[in-house]
Amino acid sequence: MLAYRSLVGRGTLWPCPSAPTARQTRLGYGLKQPYRALSATAKTPPRTIFSGIQPTGVPHLGNYLGALRQWVKLQDEASSDTTLIYSLVDLHAITIRQDPKQLRQWKKDSLAMLLAIGLDPQRSIIFHQSDVPAHAELMWILSCQASTGYLGRMTQWKDKTANEKDGSEKSKLGLFSYPVLQAADVLVHGATHVPVGHDQAQHLEFARQLANGFNEAYGKNVLMPPETLISPAKRIMSLTEPDKKMSKSHANPKSRILLTDSDDVIRSKIKSAVTDSYEGISYEPERRPGVSNLIDIFYHSGESVETESQVALAEHMAGLSLRALKEEVAMAVVEVIRPIRERYESFVRDEATLDAIAEEGARKAVASAAVTMTDVKRAVGLV
């Protein structure tokens, strides 16, 4: 998931005033001239990268290959002056009613999993969203200028409301307005870059619109319009319904591979994965979605895969039977998940360490958010 676009800005972000805000000073935007695309001799300004994931159960293989592994790579490859902020966005999780006891357990499990995949709390700020009140506070301020028309056109809102014809429980205000909270998550930390998949690009565009609208309304360059880091598509599909994305909420547990699954469970799930009756191996997502999904999983699971594309990989494996393909895929996935599972089992039992990491992460995140909130409150007249 790592052929990211350039992490540096590619054009004018905004003209900085002669007296920069506290946020701009901290991020290195104290210049009188507009910030422009960097030349080979220019000094790269400090970056702040933000991303979040809901603590709603153990992540699956699709979550890992599609996002979480890239968080670790960003952390390990970022320059020393880059700030990395990763949040367990529990406020987003309650747009759907959750069992309180279960949510508390999921929060602990999710933090243990972020550590297990390789995030380092000494290098990255890792925290629970609800531990930083500034997220909700900035959401309210931004809500006072957010367009309900724009929110109503958001893809996920339209999809949810389209499914209400059966008389089920109606969607709530939180689901309608959560893109504002999502924008606040990013903007409150002055994030310069946000890694997202293609299905979330619309939300980042909304965050930029809110930031630009706020800056225009109050005549101050307070909020940082973030750059989007679109990663190459790693859309891992369901093992039982390969025309749908792998999901934690799917009714059939065989549809997904969890990062806590044992070696035997992984092999069993892949062995039973839906394929087809065609002969040989080929990468044809439209005609052969099940086989193509297995090739995607194999291609993205192994750092040792040396082919340039899934098509080339399929050609290399063309002589294999479907059974042999599944065995190869299972071995690759086991090698990915086994060390994560073992580290997770160690972390999740150490509640004292998890509590200490969450507390320290919240302290750092509160300090980060306070810089923006001081500027925002001063701009709107609250202080």
Active site residue 234: no
* Coil/strand/helix, residue 330: helix
Q: Taking the CA atoms of the chain, what radius of gyration do you get in angstroms?
A: 22
Distance CA 241, CA 373 (A): 45
Question: Do the Cβ atoms of 87 and 185 come closer than 8 Å?
Answer: yes
Active site residue 248: yes
Task: Encode 191-212 in three state secondary structure.
Answer: CCEEEECHHHHHHHHHHHHHHH
Question: Do the Cβ atoms of 1 and 234 come closer than 8 Å?
Answer: yes
Between helix 263-271 and helix 322-348 the angle, nearest 10°, is 150
Calculate ∠ Cα 174-247-226, nearest 5°.
55
Residue located via tokens 């968080």: 71
- Catalytic one among 220, 248, 254, 377? 248
Q: Return phi, psi of residue 153, to 5°.
A: -95, 0
Can you read off the two tokens belonging to residue 293?
A: 């999904």
- Catalytic one among 220, 245, 271, 377? 245
Active site residue 160: yes
Nearest to 58 by CA among 361, 210, 261: 261
Residue located via tokens 């965050």: 207
Distance CA 199, CA 318 (A): 32
- Catalytic one among 43, 107, 158, 160? 160
Length of the chain: 383
Question: Do the Cβ atoms of 74 and 84 come closer than 8 Å?
Answer: yes
Distance CA 379, CA 383 (A): 8
Neighbours of 21 (CB within 10 A): 24
Calculate ∠ Cα 82-86-91, nearest 5°.
145
Between helix 201-218 and helix 173-187 the angle, nearest 10°, is 70
In sequence order, what E strands does 182-273 have?
193-196, 227-230
| Active centre residues (catalytic) | 160, 245, 248
